């Protein structure tokens, strides 16, 4: 067996289909391990990982930290709010200083698109992108696809997946599109005109502005969060008139789900704005696999860390 074709995970765009499948196969085994009474394996016991979060995160950060700890790696955490970034240090300097303390891998979330790629070209370490601005969030896309594979089977050919909501600001959407396309699925993005990026159909996805039609078409729907921090009444540009109107047009509720002639999978990358993009009764229903996604997140991140670490040189 060959390892991954990449040395860093900066985005799904750089991965091959075989890489994604290898990550899934490895994650299958890790999922079994994290359901054991003793959830820990010693694989990464000689590796130190720095989690650099220049942007807020709860789920991704916890998930990475748990994945690292269950592989027995040593972990250091760093958040921008309490660091020298505020004093004007550059990104490369910050990371090189951390590496000087003998850290082997860096997991980074950063508000600027391309930050992970930039760092991987300028710093001598293995970089894992945990979200860079509105660009990519590769591990989220992998865990979303892994969750779909678990429920709908391993063959993505002809599977119809819809991504609904704020496509414009979403790194999850872009990574999901790359990942699912590489696996052979068909994708429709759906949302108000203002939240769909121009020319997105060039990526080979369909665009729809009707949630009802999209739901009728798809096998699984990924409801993205409306990023309240990036829009709203007090901001310069409002992307839609009101939350209530958005919710009526593009929010998923029980009636819309029950009007379909087949059950579909409902996914959400979290955090949920209950009552906005998805109602509580849908989020808590049997069709929603939101908590499965969170569980699979740890297994997927363990697989990514394990596979990238196995390709690293011993220093």
Partner 1 sequence: MRPTVLIDEKQLQLIINRLSHQLVENHRDFSNTVIIGLQPRGVNLAKRIQAKINEITKMNVPVGNLDVTFFRDDFRRRDKPIQANSTEVDFLIENKHVVLVDDVLFTGRTIRAGLDAMLAYGRPASVELCVLIDRRFSRQLPVEPNYVGKAIDSIDSQRVTVSWKETSAADCVELHSQKQ
Give catalytic residues, as residue numbers.
Answer: 59-60, 87, 109, 137
Among 11, 15, 26, 304, binds partner 1 (CB under 8 A): 26
Quote the least distance from Cβ 136 to partner 1, whole Å.
Answer: 24
312 near partner 1, judged by CB under 8 A: yes
CB 264 within 8 A of CB 221: yes
29 near partner 1, judged by CB under 8 A: yes
84 near partner 1, judged by CB under 8 A: no
Q: Which is nearer to partner 1, 37 or 88 (CB)?
A: 37
Beta bridge partners of 288: 266
Question: Going by C-beta distance under 8 Å and a sequence separation of 6 or more, which residues neighbour residue 157?
Answer: 184, 185
Among 16, 18, 25, 260, binds partner 1 (CB under 8 A): 25
74 near partner 1, judged by CB under 8 A: no
Token match 């991987």: residue?
120
Binders in 36-65 for partner 1, by CB under 8 A: 36-38, 41-43, 46
- Per-residue exposure over 152-163, b if at least 16 CB sit within 10 Å of its own CB, e if not: beeebeebbbbb
307 near partner 1, judged by CB under 8 A: yes
314 near partner 1, judged by CB under 8 A: yes
Quote the least distance from Cβ 100 to partner 1, whole Å.
Answer: 22
Number of residues binding to partner 1, judged by CB under 8 A: 24
What is the DSSP code string of 13-78? GG--HHHHHHHHHHHHHHHHHTTSSS----TTTT-EEEEEESS--SHHHHHHHHHHHHTT-EEEEE
Among 193, 194, 285, 310, binds partner 1 (CB under 8 A): 310
Among 33, 85, 123, 294, binds partner 1 (CB under 8 A): 33
What gap in Å lies between CA 277 and CA 164, rounded to an integer? Answer: 9
Token match 């039609």: residue?
213
12 near partner 1, judged by CB under 8 A: no
315 near partner 1, judged by CB under 8 A: no
Among 1, 100, 101, 237, binds partner 1 (CB under 8 A): 1
32 near partner 1, judged by CB under 8 A: yes
What gap in Å lies between CA 78 and CA 144, rounded to an integer? Answer: 26
Length of the chain: 315
CB 210 within 8 A of CB 190: yes
Among 21, 28, 74, 295, binds partner 1 (CB under 8 A): 28
311 near partner 1, judged by CB under 8 A: yes
Quote the least distance from Cβ 262 to partner 1, whole Å.
Answer: 31
Contact pattern from residue 249 through residue 288 relative to partner 1, giving x for each residue in contact according to CB under 8 A and a dash for the rest: ----------------------------------------
What is the DSSP code string of 64-114? HHHHHHHTT-EEEEEEGGGSGGGGT--HHHHHHHHHHTT--EEEEEESSTT
Among 64, 239, 246, 306, binds partner 1 (CB under 8 A): 306
For 150-205, strand residue ranges (E) read 160-164, 186-190
Give contact residues for partner 1 (rule: CB under 8 A).
1-3, 25-26, 28-29, 32-33, 36-38, 41-43, 46, 71, 306-307, 309-312, 314
């Amino acid at each position: 067996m060959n390892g991954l074709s990449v040395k860093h995970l900066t985005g799904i765009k750089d991965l091959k289909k075989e890489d994604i499948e290898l990550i899934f196969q490895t994650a299958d085994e890790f999922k079994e391990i994290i359901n054991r009474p003793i959830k820990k394996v010693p694989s990464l016991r000689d590796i130190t990982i720095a989690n650099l979060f220049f942007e807020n995160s709860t789920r991704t950060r916890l998930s990475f930290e748990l994945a690292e700890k269950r592989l027995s790696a040593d972990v250091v955490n760093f958040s921008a709010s309490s660091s020298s970034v505020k004093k004007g240090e550059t990104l490369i300097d910050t990371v090189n200083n951390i590496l000087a303390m003998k850290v082997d891998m860096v997991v980074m979330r950063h508000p600027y698109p391309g930050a992970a790629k930039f760092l991987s070209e300028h710093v001598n370490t293995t970089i894992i992108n945990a979200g860079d601005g509105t660009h990519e969030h590769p591990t989220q896309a992998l865990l979303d696809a892994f969750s779909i594979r678990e429920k709908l089977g391993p063959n993505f050919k002809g599977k119809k997946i819809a991504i609904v909501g704020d496509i414009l600001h979403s790194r999850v959407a872009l990574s999901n599109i790359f990942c699912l396309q590489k696996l052979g699925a068909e994708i429709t993005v759906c949302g108000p005109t203002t939240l769909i990026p121009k020319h997105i159909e060039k990526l080979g996805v369909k665009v729809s502005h009707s949630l009802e039609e999209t739901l009728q078409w798809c096998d699984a729907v990924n409801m993205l969060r409306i990023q309240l921090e990036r829009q709203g009444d007090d901001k310069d540009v409002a992307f839609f008139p009101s939350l209530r109107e958005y919710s009526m047009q593009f929010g998923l509720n029980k009636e819309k789900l029950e009007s379909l002639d087949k059950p579909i999978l409902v996914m959400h990358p979290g955090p949920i704005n209950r009552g906005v993009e998805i109602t509580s009764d849908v989020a808590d229903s049997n069709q929603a696999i939101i908590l499965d996604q969170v569980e699979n997140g740890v297994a997927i991140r363990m697989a990514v860390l394990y596979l990238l670490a196995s390709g690293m040189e011993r220093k």
